[in-house]
Amino acid sequence: MSLRRTRAIARKEFLHILRDARSLIAAIAQPVLMLLLFGYALSLDVDRIPTVIYDLDRTPLSGALIKDFRGSRYFEVMGEVRGYAPIERDMESRRALLGVVIPADYSKNLAAGRTAQVQLLLDGSDSNTASIAKGYAEGLIQTYADQQRRQAQIQRTGSALAAPVEAQVRVWYNTNLVSRDYIVPGLIAVILMIIAGMLTSLTIAREWENGTMEQLLSTPVRPMEMALGKLSAYFVLGLVDMAIALIVGLGVFHVPMKGNWPLLLTASAVFLFGALAWGLFISAGNRTQLAAYQLSTLTSFLPAFLLSGFIYSLSNMPYVIQFFALFVPARYFINMVKGIFLKGVGLELLWFDFLLLVAYGAAIFYFATRKLRQKVA
């Protein structure tokens, strides 16, 4: 392999990148746009749940319960109603997701130490959000009932019964339970996969369309030299995109970085190389840029977004889908990025994911160079 020929191919690709100003601006601006869009718009947090309340009891005890709902950050009380029909209308119009019905004997049963029931009406169209809202409401109501029983016990006996078990919750990772800290590191991996695949998926196809591939094949340039030369130019651009993504993630969204910077950068470089090699492999197998772009989008964006664990839990998917997810490299890189960012774990726990990324990059680069060996038909 000649370093001189490889450097010449790399220089040629750098000139292509610099002369195509629109593509260069798009490649640099797209990571920022995706991070800002997903970081601000995409949230898995369930709070400010629109709630309407139907109070049949109308006592200070029921009023205190309503006050707790108004004071909780998880609920936004839209108002009080005078029947079930307004609750149904509000849910149909999506003005409310939760309806709380306090029965007429609520305070009487609570003061007597009997079971006091509260009815929760939920819009189950979004089953996941409804389940979370149900848990929040049940927890708030149970906590309020326990406080009232404790106060009643103190008034009757002068002392309160101690709970037999007191649960104390401590969150070790992502202590604020902010979904943005979970989404942004995974989004960096998705951006690298998409950008890298799209950048190199057009490079060989462009040579075929412009008629310059025949000239390259007539030169002494070997397939490996051509592949490394083209990849090196886009690798530098990919590093710029990665740096932009990290700056936005840390500077704008203030995602905590608890792990090892050298390990993160090394893993990112390995993953970026494999993603670029995949785009080059697609480009080498297609004679038109349109076909290469479409195939790159299908094989990079969709798997990286849906089958990597970026948002959707893989353990909840059917076993067939979980099997296909084993062949998505973004899955292993996201495991590493989230482990490094949020947990601060090192290579002693992430070595298997790292080895899979190395094997993936080497294998795809090998197949890409094999594909480049084909001659003009």
Most confident of 24-38, 126-140, 192-206: 126-140
**Each residue's pLDDT tens digit, 243-252:** 888 888 888 8
Residues 6+ apart with CB under 8 A from 45: 177, 178, 179
User: To the nearest whole number, what is the mean pLDDT of the chain?
Assistant: 82
> How would you list the strands of the sheet with 75-80, edge to edge?
75-80, 49-55, 98-102, 119-122
> Is the CB of residue 25 less than 8 Å from the CB of residue 246?
no
- Rounded to an integer, the average pLDDT of 163-184 is 76
pLDDT, position 376: 42
What mean pLDDT comes out for the span 310-334? 86
d(CA 341, CA 264): 9
pLDDT of residue 160: 58
- pLDDT value of position 234: 84
Average pLDDT over residues 266-285: 87
List the structure tokens of 75.
């609920």
Domains and CATH numbers, the chain: 3-43+178-372 (no CATH), 49-157 (3.40.1710.10)
Q: Give pLDDT tens digits for 84-110.
A: 999 999 998 989 999 999 999 888 887
Neighbours of 36 (CB within 10 A): 13
Residue % of the chain over a pLDDT of 90:
17
**Averaged pLDDT, 271-299:** 82
Residue 19: pLDDT band with limits 50, 70, 90: confident
Calculate mean pLDDT across residues 349-354.
Answer: 92
Asked whether the beta carbons of 41 and 86 are under 8 A apart, the reply is: no
- Phi, psi dihedrals of residue 194, rounded to the nearest 5°: -70, -50
Q: CB burial class (10 A; 0-12, 13-18, 19+) of residue 166?
A: exposed
pLDDT greater at residue 258 or residue 4: 258
Q: What would the two tokens of residue 227 be?
A: 């592949």
Of residues 174 and 325, the one with the higher pLDDT is 325
For the chain, the three-class secondary structure string (H helix, E strand, C coil) is CCHHHHHHHHHHHHHHHHHCHHHHHHHHHHHHHHHHHHHHHCCCCCCCEEEEEEECCCCHHHHHHHHHHHHCCCEEEEEECCCHHHHHHHHHCCCCCEEEEECCCHHHHHHCCCCCCCEEEECCCCHHHHHHHHHHHHHHHHHHHHHHHHHHHHHHHCCCCCCCCCCCCCCCCCCCCCHHHHHHHHHHHHHHHHHHHHHHCCHHHHHHHHCCHHHHHCCCCCHHHHHHHHHHHHHHHHHHHHHHHHHHHHHCCCCCCCCCHHHHHHHHHHHHHHHHHHHHHHHHCCCCHHHHHHHHHHHHHHHHHHCCCCCCCHHHCCHHHHHHHCCCHHHHHHHHHHHHHHHCCCHHHHHHHHHHHHHHHHHHHHHHHHHHCCCCC
User: Are the C-beta atoms of 59 and 53 separated by less than 8 Å?
Assistant: no
Based on C-alpha coordinates, what's the Rg of the chain? 29
Residue with tokens 């950048």: 199
User: Encoding tokens for residue 212?
Assistant: 């310059």
The predicted model gives 229-251 an average pLDDT of 85
Selection from 375, 200, 176 nearest residue 273 by Cα: 200
